[in-house]
Structure 1
Amino acid sequence: MRQAIAILDSGVGGLTVAKEVMRQLPQEEIVYFGDTDRAPYGPRATDEVLEFTEQIVSYLLHFKPKMIIIACNTATAIALQHIRSLVDIPVVGVVQPGARAAIKKTRNGSIGVIGTENTIRSGAYQHALQALNPHIRVVGLACPRLVPIVERRLYRTDEAKEAVSQSLQPLLNTTIDSLILGCTHYPFLSSAIAEVVGPRVSMISSADETAREVSAILHHRGQLARSGKIPIHRFFCSGDPNTFQAIAQEWLGEQIKVSPVFWQMTRLSGN
């Protein structure tokens, strides 16, 4: 039986990573969990994010995946190292790949990061970027209004454009030439974001670089799926499956089935 790649997110944002994994690794099967009932994670307490991430990983381990992708910047910033200490398969986050992509792209060494309150407060991107290049200048900005807009499927509305415009105003007088979309929900708003920051600023999504890292790790471990049968992807969410399915089908460009999950979650225990 083919082992899947497990992907988890606070909601639909991780679909941006799933889409890139499906593009770069078309033979791989994906099992995806979006915690739409408890999104967003950005304003939540650190211990809540840790607990929720553990619960979802515990659920996904029932599918015996060969790798876990934490496709949520908030959960990556708070829970990545903790989850790695609890499981015996590779766990990949989205912060380090995003930082590497931004380092490659910047011309003047000034990089902006937009994300949830928890992601920005953690300083995860600043630490990752300056570990790669200590001379990098980092401008972080929390944008708490944006995730709920995506989760409500309003990312093509005037409300979305207004929220993006108002949220990004503090960046307009800075010298940044690259902007990390430090939340996997934000690519849904990329057109509105690009319109606000203008053509001089390159937008960086971690999805492409994350998929490359996944490919490299699986290749090194001899676990890349071989060509053969068409992969079967499975999608689960903790909230309304209809909204999730509509967003997923629109973003991924294919028909999918989403299963709602209602269960008494349990936390992982250390090895």
Structure 2
Amino acid sequence: MTNLTAPVHSELPRLVQPIAVFDAGIGSYAAVAAIRYRLPDQDILYFADRASFPYGNKGRAELLAILGRTLSYLDTFEPSAVLVASNAPSITVLDDLIGEIDRPIFGVRPPIAEALHDSGGGDVAVLGVASMVRSPELRAYADAQAGNDAGRVHLVDASSLVDLVESGAFLFDRERTQKEVNAFFGALARSRPGITALTLSSTHLPWLRSYMERARPDWRLFDPLEAAIDAILPHATQGNGTILGLVTEDDRFGVEDFQSMLTRLGVSLPLYRVAP
């Protein structure tokens, strides 16, 4: 397993027991923003593993290798907690990695039981990337969460919506984005007319929340990130409110492109390259 290498810690901004957040895409910055809002003095280590994008199309063995390598690297920063801010590995391999490092590790998982409880008796759609919604691990998780109501839970491929975020279209082509969200939700409503609630089970999807609310204001939206942040709060530490951004890159996804995406989000954050 190849190790990650980056500038020596002495060359980086100093962090005090940061909360480490990582994923392969831009969606995970929503977790950084949520932690910053709840814990303004908490130091945060934000690691975007662009060289491994997307996590969602990786096999189990590859995901285990990627996450194991990443956890070992992040552990060198002595974090107070680590958040795997990606639904697919959180569902499929995270349980196998608990104890990999001597830090608490959290993931993001669809809040299916909560959505069923608050759906008004309607059905729940779990929106995620194709590999996740087709995985036996998610079906088993959904069935366990739903119990006797498993028939009311539908796993829905929302990869086309994720692409709207990853491409940046949701920022610079709002008219097209709204049309595509409207069309997606229209097709979903026709195929599953009982739906009254959705779980946004890709960290990209909350960036489309305003588009979704315009498309279907009658559907309730549930963000898996909210429960994850609640679980992390007891591990907060007093820091300086510093956010350190680390990024891997490859021939497909350069650091400059990722920096541009953050800038379009209104995020000013210096990024440091990490060699995969």
TM-score per shorter chain, which class? Answer: 0.7 to 0.9
1:151 is aligned to 2:163: no
Aligned in 2, Cα 1:124/1:95: closer, same or farther, shift over 3 Å?
farther
Match of 2:7 in 1: none
Q: Counterparts of 1:40 and 1:147 in 2: how far apart (Å)? A: 11
> Helix, strand or coil for the counterpart of 2:46?
strand
Q: Counterparts of 2:124 and 2:203 in 1: how far apart (Å)? A: 17
User: What is the identity, as a one-letter code, of the residue corresponding to 1:237?
Assistant: V
Contact 2:17 2:80 in 1 (8 A): yes
Aligned in 2, Cα 1:90/1:201: closer, same or farther, shift over 3 Å?
same
Match of 2:225 in 1: 207
Q: Counterparts of 2:123 and 2:116 in 1: how far apart (Å)? A: 10
> Helix, strand or coil for the counterpart of 1:134?
helix
User: How far has the Cα of 1:162 moved from its partner?
Assistant: 4.8
User: How far has the Cα of 1:192 moved from its partner?
Assistant: 2.9
User: What is the identity, as a one-letter code, of the residue corresponding to 1:172?
Assistant: A
User: How far has the Cα of 1:207 moved from its partner?
Assistant: 2.1
Q: Following TM superposition, where does structure 1 have runs of at least 4 consecutive aligned residues deviating by more than 6 angstroms?
A: none
Greater mean deviation of Cα atoms: 177-186 or 42-51: 42-51
Aligned in 2, Cα 1:78/1:130: closer, same or farther, shift over 3 Å?
closer
Q: Counterparts of 1:119 and 1:247 in 2: how far apart (Å)? A: 25
Contact 2:246 2:273 in 1 (8 A): yes
Deviation digits for residues 117-148 of structure 1, max 9, x if unmatched? Answer: 22212355554455344233201111223334
User: What is the identity, as a one-letter code, of the residue corresponding to 1:46?
Assistant: R
Q: Counterparts of 1:52 and 1:160 in 2: how far apart (Å)? A: 32
- Gaps in structure 2 of 5+ consecutive residues: 1-14
> Helix, strand or coil for the counterpart of 1:141?
strand
Q: Counterparts of 1:172 and 1:107 in 2: how far apart (Å)? A: 16
User: How far has the Cα of 1:245 moved from its partner?
Assistant: 2.4
Match of 1:261 in 2: 274
Alignment partner of 1:192 out of 206, 211, 215: 211
Alignment partner of 1:172 out of 189, 193, 201: 189
Match of 1:61 in 2: 75
Contact 1:17 1:210 in 2 (8 A): no
Deviation digits for residues 215-246 of structure 1, max 9, x if unmatched? Answer: 14x2xxxxx323xx632111112132223223
Aligned residues: 252
User: What is the identity, as a one-letter code, of the residue corresponding to 1:45?
Assistant: G
User: What is the identity, as a one-letter code, of the residue corresponding to 1:138?
Assistant: V
Match of 2:107 in 1: 93
TM-score, with length taken from structure 2: 0.81
> Helix, strand or coil for the counterpart of 1:65?
coil
Alignment partner of 1:225 out of 213, 237, 242: 237
User: How far has the Cα of 1:114 moved from its partner?
Assistant: 0.7
1:73 is aligned to 2:84: no
Identity %: 23
Aligned in 2, Cα 1:167/1:35: closer, same or farther, shift over 3 Å?
farther
